[in-house]
Structure 1
Amino acid sequence: MANKILTMNSVELFTGAGGLAIGISNAGFRHQAAIERDKDACLTIRSNQQRGIQAVADWPVFQADVSQFDFTTLQVKGEIDLLAGGPPCQPFSQGGKHQGWDDSRDMFPQFFRAVRELKPKAILVENVKGLLRSSFSQYFEYIILQLTYPEIVQKPGEDWVDHLSRLERHHTVGRHDGLSYRVVFRNLNAADYGIPQKRDRVFIVGFRSDLGVEWSFPAPTHSQEAMLWEQWVTGDYWERHQVPLCERPEVPRKQCSSLYNLQSSLFPPLTKPWRTVRDAIWDLPVPGSEEGFSKVLNHVVIPGARKYPGHTGSPLDEPAKTLKAGVHGVPGGENMLAFHTGEVRYFTVREAARLQTFPDEYFFPHCWTQTMRQLGNAVPVALAEMIASSIRTHLLRVRAIQV
C-alpha cells in the first residue's frame, strides 16, 4: 500500500534536452512519456540513457510532434498525476517576432488538448516572461481560463477571442460540474531559488478542482541582499573562494545603494545568498587544459568571444545573465563569461550546464551551437525539482486521505 501511495505518474510535453523532466523525475515522479519533436534533443536524452544516467534511464522517449500525438496510445496504470511542459517560447519571446497566437509554433492549444484527454491531477507549465507583456495580456487570460476549463473547447469557426468571451461568461457563473482546475501563476527569478542565473520565467500550476488542493508557490530561499552582505559586509564570500584582497573587484556601481542600506542594518538577511557564476564553476579545471579535457565532460574552450556595447557577458561574482537559445551575437552576451580583468570568453558547455543545474554526468553529444540552443531553452533542473516536489507533497496528502 505504501508503494502505491508513493508512485506518481507524469507525462512531459516539449521535453527538449530534459531540464524540466529531470527535475520532475528527481522530485519522485515517473515519466510515462517524454514527447519531443526535435531529433537532436531526443538524441541528447537517448545518449544519456545509453550511458546509464539514472535520472533519464526509464523514460519512454517519443520523437513526435505533440500536435500529432495520440495520447490514447499511452499504456498507463492508473491516473496521470502530473502533466508538465514548456510550450515553445518563440511566439512570446522578447527576441522573437512577437506573433503570439498567430505563430504556428504556439503550442498552448496542444497543451490544452493534452489536459482535456489525460485529465491529470496537476499541471505545470513554464514559459518566457514575455508572455506577461501587455500585448499578450488578453491571450494570457485566455490561457489561464482554458486551463481552468479545458473541456469548454472552441467551436468550429470560432476564434480564440470569441472563445475567451465564452470562457469569461462561464467563469462568472461560478459553478461548473465538468473537468476544471484551480490555476495560479507567477513570474519567478531562478536566482531567488538558488540557481546561479538571473532567469525570469512564468510558471503556471493547476490542481484538478475535485481534489480540493490549496497550493501556493514556494517562498524564495535566496536573495541579492544576502549575496551583497556576504561579499561586502562580512567578506565571507571572498574567504570561501580564497580570493585575496588585491584580486577582489570594486563594488559594482549599480549595487552601491543596496549595499549602503545593508551596512546600516544590524542584522544579516534571513535568506541565503544568491549563487554566483564563481559558486557554480569554482571546482572545474581550467577549460582547455589537459585535466579539463580528460576529466570533465563537455568542458572545451570555444574561441572567438569578444565584447562590445551591449554585449559584455556575465560577471563572475553575480548570478549569470539568462542563458539563451541564441549563440554567437546574442544581445547582452548572456552565453559569455566576463572576468574582472576585462577579459571575456564563452562558457563551456559544462559551465552552461552547471548554470542550468544539470548533473555533471549528463552528456551533451552535439556541437556547442546546438547544445547552447538546448541549454538556453531548458528549465533549470533544481528549480523544476523544487516546484515539482511541492506539487507532489500536496498530491500525496490527497492520496493519503483517499486511501
Structure 2
Amino acid sequence: MRTSSTPRYASAVSDQHEKRSGSRTSVELFAGGGGLARAVHDAGFRPLLFNEFAKRACETLVANGAKKVADGEKPWIPQPGEAVPLVEGDVRDLDMTYLNGEDVDLLAGGPPCQPFSLGGVAKGDEDERNMFPQMFKAVRQIQPKAVICENVRGLLRPSFEPYFDYIQQELSLPFVKREGATWQGHNQTLIDLLKDTSSIPKDERYEVVKVPVNAADYGVPQIRHRVILVAFRADLGVDVNAFEAFVKKQRYSETALIRSMLLGEYWERHPKVPDHVRARVHARLPKTPPADDGCAPWRTLRDALKGIRAGEDPLPEVPLDQLDRKTEHGGFAYHYGWPEARIYDGHTPNELDRPAKTVKAGVHGVPGGESVMLLDQRVADATAQSGWRYLHRYMTVRETARVMTFPDDWNLEGPRGEKMRQLGNAVPVLLGEFFAKAVADALNEAEGSR
C-alpha cells in the first residue's frame, strides 16, 4: 500500500531541506486535514504548533506525525525532527503566549468558512462559527512576522464587503481591541487610526495584501475560487507592493490549455485517449489556437490522475465491476470504487480534460457532481443525441486527494465521508505552498536588505 510508513513531521529530510525547515517557523490554526500544514512544511517552514477541533481531522494529523498534547498539559517547543504538538479542541481556549519569544515567522490558517459560504446560511459576523477574532487573538499573542489566512470567495460578495474591509483593517491593527464595541464602531476607530499610524509601534501593525485566487491559475487541477489574505509585520520592511505583484501574476491559464489541445501538445501527454473523446473535447474549442499568453496550461483532472508531482505514478483505472468499497487498486491507499453514482440536472460530473470542479465538504462528504467523473468508455444509447452514452462513476478518495494536490504519502483517517470532508475543507497543497514560499522569499529579501 502506497501510504507513509514514517511520520511526515518526524521523518528525516535532506540536509538542504532540513536547513530551510529549521530556519523558518510556523504555527497553524484550524489545521483540518492538513492541506495548509503540509504546504507550509513543504515550503521550508518548521511547524511549532497545530490546533484543530474536529476529531477525525486530528486523527489525520497524528497519522502524519503530529503528537497530541495531553489534556491540561502545555505544548512543547519542538526541535527540528521532533513531532509537532497538536492541541485538539476549541481555539478559543488556546493560550499561545508561550510562543511570543520564539520569533515565529508565519501564522497560517483558514478560519471556518460557513459564516461566509454561498452554501451556508451566510450570517457572517453574527455567526458564532466566525473565527476571525481568534486569528487576531493569535496575532496579538504570538506577534508573527507574517500571516496567511485563506477563506471562501463569499467574503467578496457585496453583502459582506463592509465586514471584509473590517477584517482587513483589524488584521492591520490587531492590538487595537474591540472592547465591547460593535464591529461597525470598532471599524471606524481602525479607519481613523490608519490615517496616521505614527502613534502605533511598527511591531504592532501589519501591512495586508488581499488576493482573490482561482487555484487553477496556480497549477492546481481544480477550479477553486478563494480569497487569501497575507500580512507582514510593519517593522520588517517587506516590499509589500512587489509581493502583491508577484503573487497576483497569472502562471497557468485556460487559454494555454486550449492552445495546447489544438496544437496537440496536451494529447501527446495522454496518447491513450480514444479518438472519440478527443473529438468530443475539440467540438467545444475554437477552430484556431488562441495567441500564446505566456502561461502554462491549466492542469486537468486527467493530468492529476496521471501525476503532476515529480515521481508520481499514474493511478490505475477502477474497473466498473469492482465498485465494492474495499478493493484498493494498484497499491494506492484509498483508491477503491464506490457504487451508485448518478448524473442528473444540477449534478453534472467532472470531465477528465478540464480542471476538476471545486471539491466541497458536504454533510456526508463531497456533495453533488463534484465527486462524479465522466469516463472515456461509452456504450450505444439510442436515446442520446449522439447515439452514445459515456459511463461514469464516483471518484475515489485518492483521486480527490490528487485534485487537492496532496501527495500520495499523506494519510487520511476516518470513513470515506470523513476523508472526503477533510479534503473538501482543505487548502490545495500546491496553492498553499506557493504562497508560503512567496512569504519566505519576501522575508528573506527584507532581512537581507537590513
Whether the TM-score (by the shorter chain) exceeds 0.5 is yes
- The answer to which of 291-300 and 38-47 deviates more is 291-300
Rounded Cα–Cα distance in structure 1 between residues aligned with 2:94 and 2:87: 9
- Normalising to structure 2: TM-score of the pair? 0.81
Shift of 1:177: 2.2
2:90 aligned with 1:65, yes or no? yes
Match for residue 161 of structure 1?
184
4+ residue runs over 4 A deviation: 2-6, 288-292, 327-332
2:261 aligned with 1:237, yes or no? no
Rounded Cα–Cα distance in structure 1 between residues aligned with 2:46 and 2:421: 26
Shift of 1:185: 0.6
2:255 aligned with 1:225, yes or no? yes
Gap change, CA 1:160 and 1:273, over 3 Å in 2: same
2:382 aligned with 1:353, yes or no? no
Match of 1:343, as an amino acid?
L
- The answer to which of 78-87 and 280-289 deviates more is 280-289
- The answer to which of 277-286 and 194-203 deviates more is 277-286
Name the SS for the 1:150 alignment partner: coil
Q: Which runs of 5+ in 2 are unaligned?
A: 1-15, 68-79, 307-313, 379-389
Q: Is the 8 A contact 2:366 2:421 kept in 1?
A: no
Q: Is the 8 A contact 2:361 2:367 kept in 1?
A: no
Alignment of 1:4-403 (within 5 A): 7-49=23-65, 58-74=83-99, 78-156=102-180, 158-178=181-201, 179-214=204-239, 215-216=243-244, 217-218=246-247, 219-231=249-261, 233-242=262-271, 243-251=273-281, 256=285, 259-260=286-287, 263=289, 265=290, 267-282=291-306, 283-287=314-318, 292-293=328-329, 295-326=331-362, 332-339=368-375, 341=378, 342-402=390-450
Rounded Cα–Cα distance in structure 1 between residues aligned with 2:364 and 2:346: 13
Rounded Cα–Cα distance in structure 1 between residues aligned with 2:229 and 2:45: 18
Gap change, CA 1:376 and 1:369, over 3 Å in 2: same
Instruction: Give deviations 1:213-270, integer Å, cap 9, x for gaps.
Output: 1121422211101111111x212212321124234242477x54xx35x53x5x5331
Q: Is the 8 A contact 2:48 2:84 kept in 1?
A: yes
Gap change, CA 1:5 and 1:400, over 3 Å in 2: farther
Alignment RMSD: 2.5
Instruction: Give deviations 1:250-292, integer Å, cap 9, x for gaps.
Output: 2477x54xx35x53x5x53311110000011131112366984
- Normalising to structure 1: TM-score of the pair? 0.90
Shift of 1:335: 1.8
Q: Is the 8 A contact 2:216 2:223 kept in 1?
A: yes
Shift of 1:77: 6.2
Name the SS for the 1:49 alignment partner: coil
Rounded Cα–Cα distance in structure 1 between residues aligned with 2:301 and 2:439: 29
Aligned residues: 389
Name the SS for the 2:210 alignment partner: strand
Rounded Cα–Cα distance in structure 1 between residues aligned with 2:170 and 2:361: 28
Rounded Cα–Cα distance in structure 2 between residues aligned with 1:303 and 1:90: 29
Rounded Cα–Cα distance in structure 1 between residues aligned with 2:136 and 2:392: 44
Instruction: Give deviations 1:101-137, integer Å, cap 9, x for gaps.
Output: 1111100001011111111110100000001111111
Gap change, CA 1:359 and 1:5, over 3 Å in 2: closer
Match for residue 71 of structure 2?
none
Gap change, CA 1:343 and 1:38, over 3 Å in 2: same
What is the aligned-residue identity percentage? 43
Q: Is the 8 A contact 2:33 2:58 kept in 1?
A: yes
Name the SS for the 2:102 alignment partner: coil
Gap change, CA 1:23 and 1:224, over 3 Å in 2: same
Gap change, CA 1:296 and 1:4, over 3 Å in 2: closer
- The answer to which of 174-183 and 202-211 deviates more is 174-183
Rounded Cα–Cα distance in structure 2 between residues aligned with 1:308 and 1:39: 34
Match of 1:306, as an amino acid?
R
Shift of 1:59: 2.0
Q: Is the 8 A contact 1:35 1:63 kept in 2?
A: yes
Match of 1:46, as an amino acid?
V
